[in-house]
Amino acid sequence: MPTYAPSPVTFVRGRGTELWDTEGRRYLDFLCGLGVTSLGHAHPAVAEAVATQARTLEHVSNLFCTEVGVEVARTLDRLLGGGGQVFFTNSGAEANECALKLARKWGGRGRHVVVSAYGSFHGRTLATLHATGQPAKHEAFQPLPEGFRHVAWCDLAALEAAVDPTVSAVLLEPVQGEGGVNPATPEYFQGVRRLCDERGLLLVVDEVQTGLGRTGAWFGFEHYGIRPDVVTLAKALGNGMPIGACWARAEVAGAFQPGDHGTTYGGQPLAAAAARATLASMEAEDAPARAAAAGERLASGLRALPGVRSVRGVGLLLAAELAGGQARAVTAAALARGLVVNAVTATAVRLAPPLLVADDELDEGLAILASALAP
């Protein structure tokens, strides 16, 4: 269906940071499928885990438990500080959908509104679309489900004014990825945490794009010195296999009862095996530290490029604001030269290379982008 513009290239093979198209041309992938292949393409440990699991057990009904799913849930709970429970999904939108339903069930009747920020992106189901703070994306699909309210990004006073007795939760990203790579501030997130505590609200943090090392910490919220009540994950969790997760503190997760929510494929063994191998490899490689160091090198290199007005972001989730403002043209020129990035806004190019990207690959990517920026 014509939901995307025609693709200028067709990729057939990948390895690490590299991609090859049908014509045999090589590219550096500095987008990672929108932050998905954080360990790079065809990572050997993940590939072997999927192949082994495919020969062992591909799927059972979610009426039954599997060992691999339990292992992944335990690992996520440990990385998130413990004391929580996990619901597995197939995508980030479904992880956020789970969080929204959990917030409504936890809040009870009459206390169902979720407040999110303008510029946010939380998914494309009808509910997560309305949670997304981009009104232009709403218009074609009205009427959308009610129960959503939007406030200015990083404006604590606006958030406080929006909270009334109908509100059950606040939903925020640590860095607005699709909104233009806009990081929050520690002061804002700490203020939101205090407000939620004072008003008895859930703080739901959408880590779909920022989670699992991309920002230089396991989770973006760690930069702000707070702990959420609910965290949603996907993208990097399976390094390409479709899997997402909604984690919640046990007392919050307990609002769900059997029959309240479900999914046929969520946490099924094939995807969970990929997640298990991905998490193990990330821990073995200390992926957050790798992302922090590589992010500093990439950000420094971007700031030195003629035509880059400013650089924003955290770790290996960066946006280069262009002096000329022609992000789409620069993105196309970069692709023609062998570099995959994307125009996250009309004036900014987003870069999100694999967390294990090598220094020489960063330097090569910067050189290609410099060529694409040249008049």
The catalytic residues are 121, 206, 235
Residue 219: strand, helix, or coil:
coil
Q: How many CA atoms lie within 13 A of 133 on its CB side?
A: 20
Quick one: tokens of 179?
A: 């909104």
98, 309 in Cβ contact below 8 A?
no
Residue 51: strand, helix, or coil:
helix
Query: What are the percentages of helix, strand and coil residues in the chain, rounded to 5?
Result: 40, 20, 40
CA distances from 206 to 13, 91, 135, 210, 325 (A): 31, 12, 19, 8, 29
Residue 144: strand, helix, or coil:
coil
Using CA atoms, how far apart are residues 108 and 147, in angstroms rounded to an integer? 13
42, 284 in Cβ contact below 8 A?
no
Using CA atoms, how far apart are residues 56 and 261, in angstroms rounded to an integer? 28
Q: Fill in the amino acid letter for 307.
A: G
Owner of token pair 């990207």:
357
- Other beta carbons within 10 angstroms of residue 332's beta carbon come to 14
Residue from 323, 280, 281 nearest 305 by CA: 323
Using CA atoms, how far apart are residues 149 and 210, in angstroms rounded to an integer? 23
DSSP 8-state symbol, 346: S
* Sheet strands (E) in 17-67: 18-21, 26-29
Using CA atoms, how far apart are residues 195 and 169, in angstroms rounded to an integer? 11
